[in-house]
Amino acid sequence: MTNVFAYIRVSSRDQNEDRQLLALKEFAVPMQNIFIDKQSGKDFERPAYKRMVKKMKRDDLLYIKSIDRLGRNYEEIQNQWRILTKEKGVDICVIDMPLLDSRRGKDLVGTFLSDIVLQVLSFVAENERTNIRQRQAEGIAAAKEKGVKFGRPALPYPDNFQKIYCDWREKKITLRQAAEACGMPVGTFYGKAKRFEESN
C-alpha cells in the first residue's frame, strides 16, 4: 500500500510554513505524514527529515513544494534524490516543477530528462545560496564603510569605573577584584579598561 508523505522546510524558526502547507492541501497528505524542519538547507542533518526517511517504504510517495525546500547544496540534493528514488524505491513529486515527478516517464528518456532537470535546479538552488551569502557580505561591508556598528551597543561605564580602574593600574587591587567591584566579567572589565585608555 502506498503511503503519501510531504516534507516542508523553512530556513529559520520565525519563518512561516503556511505557504507550503497550502500547496499540499490538494494532495490529501495525512497530517501525521507531514514532516517540518525549521533550519538551514545547507545539509541533511535535520531531525524531521531523518524521521521521515526512516518511516518511508518502497512505492511510497513524497511531495515537496520546490526543490530548494529539499535542500540548497547541489551534491547533497542529488545524493538524497538518488537514495530516496533508487535505494528506497520512493517516488518524489516536486509540486512547482512537474518535470520532477519520478512517477512519470520511468523509461530511459524520462529518467534522463528528470536527471537533467534535477541537476539544473540543484545548481540553481546552490548558486542562489552562494549569491545570498555574497550579498550579505557585501551589505555588511557597505554598512561598516558607512560607520554602522554591528552587535549590541556597549554598556556605559559604571559610576565607580574610573576609581576602580586607577586602583587596578596602581596595583592596589587585582584584575579579578576590579572586575568584581564593577560587577562585570574579567574580560569585559579588561576590554573597557583598554577602550578607556585609548579614549583618554
The SS3 of residue 105 is coil
Torsion of CA 130, 134, 140, 146, to 10 degrees: -160
HSE toward the beta carbon, residue 129, CA cutoff 13 A: 18
94, β-bridge pairs: 64
Respond yes or no: is residue 199 known to be catalytic: no
For 185, how many CA atoms within 13 A lie in the half-sphere containing its CB? 4
Please report the DSSP string for 137-197 in residue order.
HHHHHHHHHTT---SSPPPPPPTTHHHHHHHHHTTSS-HHHHHHHHTS-HHHHHHHHHHHH
Among the options 11, 12, 66, 114, which is catalytic?
A: 11
User: What secondary structure letter does DSSP report for 54?
Assistant: H
Strand order across the 61-64 sheet: 34-38, 4-10, 61-64, 91-94
- Side-chain half-sphere exposure of 138, counting CA atoms within 13 A: 6
Residue numbers annotated as active site: 11
